[in-house]
Amino acid sequence: MTRRPTFPATLPTQGAAAGRTRPATPAATAVRASASVAAVRPQGLGLDSQAARERMVQKLAAQGLSHPDVLAAMGGVQRHLFVDSALANQAYEDTSLPIGLGQTISKPNVVARMIELVLAAPAFAQATSAAQRGRILEIGTGCGYQAAVLARVAREVYSIERLRGLHDKARDNLRPMRLPNVHLLFGDGMLGYARGAPYSAIIAAAGGEAVPDAWIEQLAIGGRIVAPVQSTAGRQSLVVIDKLTHGVQKAFLEAVQFVPLKSGIA
C-alpha cells in the first residue's frame, strides 16, 4: 500500500527520505532513482515542502504568533509526513485534517498558539533553549505531529494516546525522525502519567468537561496546563491553568474545536 506521499519531490535530495523504515514502493523508488541522477527541481507550486513550510510560518507570524522557538519548530517539522498521502498537498494549509479513527490533527495555527501559551508559563520564563525547559506531557498523541513540534521546544516530551491504532501510527510516523526526547505512551490520558511527573506543562489535544484533577496534581509549581474545555452551551474554549505556590490560577481564552477527551482505552 502506498501510504507515503511522493510529495515533495525534493525530499530525496534533502536526505529526509533516508532512514525510513517502510519498504520503498515502486513509485517512491522511481522518485528516489531520478533524484539521484539529477537534482530534481520541484514540479509546480506546493511540491517543495521547505518552501511550503516557510509560507506557513510567514502566515503564522502574520496571524500574530511571535515566539521564535515556536515558529522555528513549526518550520522544522514535516507535517505532510503525518497525514495520508491524499492529504499531503493540504498539509501546510491552515486547516485541521483527518488522521483516522474519527480523530483530527489540529490546524497549524492552533498547534502554534497552544505551544506559545505553554512557553509563556512561569516555569519556562527564564529558559532560552529547549534543553533548559523541562518535561511536557501531551494528552492525545494522535498522529504524533504535535509531539514532534514539542520535541523541538522542550527537553522531554511524554505523549499519551488512548487509541491503540493511533498510538501505533504515531510510533511509525516518528520512528524515522529519531527523536530521543519523545516518549510515546498508550493509556488513558485523563489519569495523566504519574511516573513522568512533575511536568512543567501539560497540553491537551482533546477537550473534556473539565480539566482532570490528576493533571493539576502532576504539574510542577510554576507549571501550566493548556487545554480545551467545555464552556457554556457545549462550546469549547482554551483554558490556561497556572499552578502557583498558593493555588491555581485559571484563564479562559478563545473558542476552539477539539475532538472529545474520552476515558479508558480502545
| Interacting residues toward ligand SAH by CB under 6 A | 99, 103-106, 139-140, 142-143, 145-146, 160-163, 166, 188-190, 205-206, 259, 261-263
Number of H helices, E strands in the chain: 8, 11
| Catalytic option among 34, 36, 49, 106 | 106
Whole-number Cα distances in Å, 142 to 148, 206, 212, 220, 243: 11, 10, 19, 25, 27
Cell numbers placing 65: 504568533
Q: Which is nearer to ligand SAH, 3 or 41 (CB)?
A: 3
* Min dist. Cβ of residue 187 to ligand SAH (A): 7
Cα 55–chain centre separation: 18
CB 221 within 8 A of CB 245: yes
Please tell me the distance from the alpha carbon of residue 83 to that of residue 103, in angstroms, as a whole number.
12
CB 176 within 8 A of CB 20: yes
* Min dist. Cβ of residue 73 to ligand SAH (A): 13
- Dihedral of alpha carbons 8, 10, 14, 16, sign: positive
Q: Which is nearer to ligand SAH, 28 or 227 (CB)?
A: 227
Q: Which is nearer to ligand SAH, 172 or 244 (CB)?
A: 172
Q: Which is nearer to ligand SAH, 47 or 203 (CB)?
A: 203
* Min dist. Cβ of residue 188 to ligand SAH (A): 5
* Min dist. Cβ of residue 124 to ligand SAH (A): 20
| Residue 159 annotated as catalytic | no
**Within a 13 Å sphere around the CA of 153, how many CA atoms are in the beta-carbon half?**
31
Please tell me the distance from the alpha carbon of residue 155 to that of residue 13, in angstroms, as a whole number.
30
Q: Which is nearer to ligand SAH, 8 or 140 (CB)?
A: 140
* Min dist. Cβ of residue 116 to ligand SAH (A): 15
Active site (catalytic) residues: 106
